[in-house]
Chain A
């Protein structure tokens, strides 16, 4: 074995020495042979002739010896490579076109694959991430609903499926104290065991224990690495220190390490991976028998050997038991457990796979194009190949050599493409919607290198194999005889090339239709009535520390004064404050009782609760449909009122006049517990593409059921001047210098951002479709102009016989139209079957949208005919004399 290896290595690396030895050896043999014949009495010349005859071909013997050395494959590989390089060098424009188109399409594939590899394939950055699940409620009406805290606590007590079960809820806090300006920090309120679920450990201190969940014990905080460093200078003695958050003293119990990813979702919280600054304990305040409020999110780590389904059915059993204990009937709610991975990437998965499919098609088109170019060149190389075959080259050797050439082209394209991908990925990430999961993890990594290499190699073989086999089938006698002027025997070749063009056109069609559908969907979304008017509206958020704003009255007074002051700024038309803003993922719900109505046996009346000041609706431009807005008369001691949205009116009072109806949040309401509906406002959906608005109502800010400390401020002015933001900050500071203003944003920016995902999908698919139709046009142009060059004598003859230019152009265009029409029809049919996968990605457009299909069909035909017009005109330039002489 070792001997074998050493021998081969010497043969490979000391190739020249080995070759010289072989020459000498054979020379020696030959001389001995000549000598022998001479001794038999022949003349010198005769002896040489006999020896040569006996010996056979020197070169053949040497070649066999090389094979016997066992290095043949590598040596011929190197030869083929050199040959291929020479070939490319000798025809640089061919090389540039083919390598560039491949680089573009391989690069696009690598870029999309980097996104997929980082978002879908790489596992989440927690130990054993597959065991982490999210826990939701679900019903026929609400696919995903947050949990009630006391329900959650019962699940945690009784469940045996989980190694650890925890819950979290958004809880931003304001850090103050010291000389620095107060800052608003992104925070979460978490139950004990939250980090145990994630499998993460504090770098300093510890996690919250169960005692921290008891009301009164909640003044503890865990800091992120970033805040620890930026706000506290990475003080090593931070644990145990008291810091001022929301004007209360919180004890630091721990610091998390850098790079802790929040396991978020698109759902009422920060997106996955966004920066969380601090975590505080979730405390179970309130009456445990009242379970109407749903606002915390469950997360758990499954025990070994417990499946998602098992944990779900266990939790459902517990839920049924709780309802029985509380004396309630069966409800329409179910517990739903889903893997964290699905929750994080679920919504982006389909879009990414569609994008991968789209770039895959671009690559197929590029392959067809490359194969076509190679076939065209193979036709001109027929003579060369015939000569090589005649000189004894084996067909497999020829195929190998031609494949080496296509592999070389593909790998060069791949290398260039990888460079393009590295640049492209940066562009891609900047195009991504802000809430796209794991966006900051996307980069060109080792798997992307491997992917690019494999794709390039596969591409090279794919587009090289057909031309290579085709070329090796050449009959040497005929190839030599015809002297390379290949007018016959190319029927099969041209059929093949036509088939390639047809498939290019049809794939380009599919991509264009995908892009067209996405464009229509995007336009639908952009032109959708959002339910409010976003122009010239500035928004910001303020969080009042509960320690200082203890009563509903003090909270209401603050916002009333603030909005009144803001309204007096010149240019301000209306200003209001509310619990939330449209399209920001707010999802706090409460069950309620409706006067004179009984909830259906398996459900409760549910609606999303909000709080608003007088001019909140006017400032946002949400229209009043019936009744009135809040007025200054809706004071704490006045009769209590609510404003509901159209969806709630439709759902709970269908066909009735709803103004004057009453609702309550008490089970045994006294007269003062009733809230009267005084107005109905227009619907605003959760997201611009949500199918319907959720039922929702607003309490007047002076009459809420419970105080809401975090409010969003809305200011409508006559223009978008930047000074407005400063004015808002100043007004807040004037009222309370300890308050921070956060999330200052123009509403039209939020609206623009809300269609980021469909815009992203459209831009990419549009780009790919553009590339595809360009490649298909090049392919069509190539085939038609080749065929024109082949038919030049025929055209010349026709013109000599009196054909007009137009007749010749027609001839060419008819030939082209056959290909293009076939391709277009096939493409439209293919698109009709494939477009169904887009259904969940497009809004208010049928996947079989006739407008898109029609216009794409016409466009493809127009572009392809244009691509054929140039060769067609060339055909008319055929000089009859030259053409005839050439025959």
Chain B
């Protein structure tokens, strides 16, 4: 089955990561899997952009990392949302909604 996948701009990747983590701590692979699942296999975060994004978000203090054990007993790096990250998620969700609404409005008006 051939799926149509969309290339994600950086800001969107950040938003998706933050949203996914708001459900609870996850490791990198699980984040990408979850995004894929929830978007019905449309949105795939390339690994090449996932990890740099995670490091960037960590540097900004929106998420923090700690080492835990995965379901099959391997050491894995889990990321979770910080308080600053929750706020950032709200801000970004809000601006994303505004953006999509505005774009939709323009698309429909013509």
Residues of chain A touching chain B, judged by Cβ–Cβ distance below 8 Å, are: 3-4, 7-8, 21-22, 24-26, 28-29, 31-33, 36, 54-57, 60-61, 64-65, 67-70
Contacts of B28 in A (CB 8 A): 25, 28-29
Contacts of A55 in B (CB 8 A): 47-48
Contacts of B77 in A (CB 8 A): 21, 24-25, 28
Q: Assess the B51–A64 pair: CB atoms within 8 A.
A: yes
Residue-wise interface mask of B (43-70) relative to A, using a CB-CB cutoff of 8 A (1 in contact, 0 not):
0001111011101101111000000001
From B84, which residue of chain A is reached at the shortest CB distance? Answer: A3
Q: Assess the A24–B48 pair: CB atoms within 8 A.
A: no
Q: DSSP majority for the A interface? A: helix
B76 close to chain A: CB less than 8 A: yes
State A64–B55 Cα separation when bound (angstroms): 9
Known contacts A24-B77, A28-B27, A28-B76; is A8 also within 8 Å of B59 by CB? yes
Q: Assess the B52–A68 pair: CB atoms within 8 A.
A: yes
From A27, which residue of chain B is reached at the shortest CB distance? Answer: B74
Q: Assess the A68–B55 pair: CB atoms within 8 A.
A: yes
Q: Assess the B60–A3 pair: CB atoms within 8 A.
A: yes
B29 close to chain A: CB less than 8 A: yes
Contacts of B56 in A (CB 8 A): 68
Q: Whole-angstrom distance from the CB of B11 to the nearest CB of chain A?
A: 14
Q: Assess the A61–B76 pair: CB atoms within 8 A.
A: no
State A7–B82 Cα separation when bound (angstroms): 15
Q: Whole-angstrom distance from the CB of A59 to the nearest CB of chain B?
A: 11
State A56–B60 Cα separation when bound (angstroms): 26
State A4–B53 Cα separation when bound (angstroms): 15
Q: Whole-angstrom distance from the CB of A622 to the nearest CB of chain B?
A: 87
Q: Assess the A32–B29 pair: CB atoms within 8 A.
A: yes
Q: Assess the B47–A56 pair: CB atoms within 8 A.
A: yes
B75 close to chain A: CB less than 8 A: yes
From B27, which residue of chain A is reached at the shortest CB distance? Answer: A28
Contact of A26 among B49, B51, B74 (CB under 8 A): B51
Known contacts A25-B28, A32-B29; is A7 also within 8 Å of B59 by CB? yes
Can you list 17 A-B contacts with CB-CB less than 8 angstroms, sorted by A residue number? A4-B59, A4-B61, A7-B61, A25-B76, A25-B77, A28-B29, A28-B70, A28-B74, A29-B27, A60-B48, A61-B47, A61-B48, A64-B48, A64-B49, A64-B52, A65-B51, A69-B55
Q: Whole-angstrom distance from the CB of B59 to the nearest CB of chain A?
A: 5
Q: Assess the A61–B59 pair: CB atoms within 8 A.
A: no
From A4, which residue of chain B is reached at the shortest CB distance? Answer: B59
From B61, which residue of chain A is reached at the shortest CB distance? Answer: A3
Q: Whole-angstrom distance from the CB of B20 to the nearest CB of chain A?
A: 15
Q: Assess the B59–A67 pair: CB atoms within 8 A.
A: no
Q: DSSP majority for the B interface? A: helix
State A55–B77 Cα separation when bound (angstroms): 18
From B75, which residue of chain A is reached at the shortest CB distance? Answer: A24
State A68–B48 Cα separation when bound (angstroms): 12
Closest 4 A-B residue pairs measured CB to CB?
Answer: A3-B61, A68-B52, A64-B52, A68-B55
State A508–B3 Cα separation when bound (angstroms): 71
Q: Tally inter-chain residue pairs, CB-CB below 8 A.
A: 66
Q: Whole-angstrom distance from the CB of B17 to the nearest CB of chain A?
A: 13
Contact of A4 among B49, B60, B70, B74 (CB under 8 A): B60
Which range holds the interface residue count of chain B?
20 to 34
Contacts of A61 in B (CB 8 A): 47-48, 51-52
Q: Assess the B51–A25 pair: CB atoms within 8 A.
A: yes
State A68–B60 Cα separation when bound (angstroms): 10
From A64, which residue of chain B is reached at the shortest CB distance? Answer: B52
State A843–B47 Cα separation when bound (angstroms): 78
Contacts of A64 in B (CB 8 A): 48-49, 51-52
**CB neighbors of A among B85-105 (8 A):** none
Contacts of A70 in B (CB 8 A): 59
From B55, which residue of chain A is reached at the shortest CB distance? Answer: A68
State A31–B48 Cα separation when bound (angstroms): 16
Contacts of B29 in A (CB 8 A): 28-29, 32-33
Q: Whole-angstrom distance from the CB of A463 to the nearest CB of chain B?
A: 36
Residue-wise interface mask of B (16-33) relative to A, using a CB-CB cutoff of 8 A (1 in contact, 0 not):
000000000001110001
Kindly list 5 other residue pairs between chains A and B, CB separation below 8 angstroms, not including A3-B61, A28-B27, A57-B48.
A7-B58, A28-B74, A28-B76, A28-B77, A68-B53
Q: Assess the B52–A65 pair: CB atoms within 8 A.
A: yes
State A24–B76 Cα separation when bound (angstroms): 8
Known contacts A24-B75, A28-B29, A61-B52; is A68 also within 8 Å of B59 by CB? yes
Q: Assess the A65–B55 pair: CB atoms within 8 A.
A: yes
Contacts of B52 in A (CB 8 A): 61, 64-65, 67-68
Contacts of B75 in A (CB 8 A): 24, 28
Contacts of B53 in A (CB 8 A): 68
State A69–B56 Cα separation when bound (angstroms): 6
Q: Whole-angstrom distance from the CB of A7 to the nearest CB of chain B?
A: 5
State A3–B27 Cα separation when bound (angstroms): 21
Contacts of B51 in A (CB 8 A): 22, 25-26, 29, 61, 64-65, 68
From B58, which residue of chain A is reached at the shortest CB distance? Answer: A7
Contacts of A67 in B (CB 8 A): 52
Q: Whole-angstrom distance from the CB of B73 to the nearest CB of chain A?
A: 12
Q: Which residue, of A26, A29, A57, A70, has the highest number of chain B Cβ atoms within 10 A?
A: A29
Contact of B47 among A22, A29, A31, A68 (CB under 8 A): A29
Contacts of A21 in B (CB 8 A): 77
Q: Whole-angstrom distance from the CB of B99 to the nearest CB of chain A?
A: 24
Q: Whole-angstrom distance from the CB of B82 to the nearest CB of chain A?
A: 9
State A28–B32 Cα separation when bound (angstroms): 13
Q: Whole-angstrom distance from the CB of A126 to the nearest CB of chain B?
A: 55
Q: Assess the A54–B55 pair: CB atoms within 8 A.
A: no
State A69–B58 Cα separation when bound (angstroms): 9
Q: Whole-angstrom distance from the CB of B48 to the nearest CB of chain A?
A: 5
Q: Whole-angstrom distance from the CB of A227 to the nearest CB of chain B?
A: 69
From B67, which residue of chain A is reached at the shortest CB distance? Answer: A21
State A28–B33 Cα separation when bound (angstroms): 14
Q: Whole-angstrom distance from the CB of A3 to the nearest CB of chain B?
A: 4
From A71, which residue of chain B is reached at the shortest CB distance? Answer: B59
Q: Whole-angstrom distance from the CB of A61 to the nearest CB of chain B?
A: 5
Contacts of B46 in A (CB 8 A): 56
Contacts of B49 in A (CB 8 A): 64
Q: Assess the B58–A56 pair: CB atoms within 8 A.
A: no
State A24–B70 Cα separation when bound (angstroms): 13
Q: Whole-angstrom distance from the CB of A707 to the nearest CB of chain B?
A: 90
State A837–B70 Cα separation when bound (angstroms): 80
From A3, which residue of chain B is reached at the shortest CB distance? Answer: B61
State A55–B51 Cα separation when bound (angstroms): 11
State A204–B76 Cα separation when bound (angstroms): 80
State A69–B53 Cα separation when bound (angstroms): 10
Contacts of A32 in B (CB 8 A): 29
Q: Whole-angstrom distance from the CB of A160 to the nearest CB of chain B?
A: 67
From A25, which residue of chain B is reached at the shortest CB distance? Answer: B77
Q: Which residue, of A24, A32, A69, has the highest number of chain B Cβ atoms within 10 A?
A: A32
Contacts of A22 in B (CB 8 A): 51
Q: Whole-angstrom distance from the CB of A13 to the nearest CB of chain B?
A: 15
Q: Which residue, of B33, B46, B51, B70, has the highest number of chain A Cβ atoms within 10 A?
A: B51
Contacts of A8 in B (CB 8 A): 59
Q: Whole-angstrom distance from the CB of A163 to the nearest CB of chain B?
A: 61
State A60–B56 Cα separation when bound (angstroms): 16
Contacts of B58 in A (CB 8 A): 7
From B47, which residue of chain A is reached at the shortest CB distance? Answer: A55
Q: Whole-angstrom distance from the CB of A494 to the nearest CB of chain B?
A: 42
State A24–B65 Cα separation when bound (angstroms): 14
Q: Whole-angstrom distance from the CB of A826 to the nearest CB of chain B?
A: 53
Q: Whole-angstrom distance from the CB of B13 to the nearest CB of chain A?
A: 12
State A25–B33 Cα separation when bound (angstroms): 15
State A509–B67 Cα separation when bound (angstroms): 70
State A65–B53 Cα separation when bound (angstroms): 8
State A405–B19 Cα separation when bound (angstroms): 46
Q: Whole-angstrom distance from the CB of A292 to the nearest CB of chain B?
A: 85
Contacts of A56 in B (CB 8 A): 46-48
State A60–B47 Cα separation when bound (angstroms): 11
State A25–B70 Cα separation when bound (angstroms): 12
State A54–B46 Cα separation when bound (angstroms): 8
From B64, which residue of chain A is reached at the shortest CB distance? Answer: A3
State A55–B49 Cα separation when bound (angstroms): 10
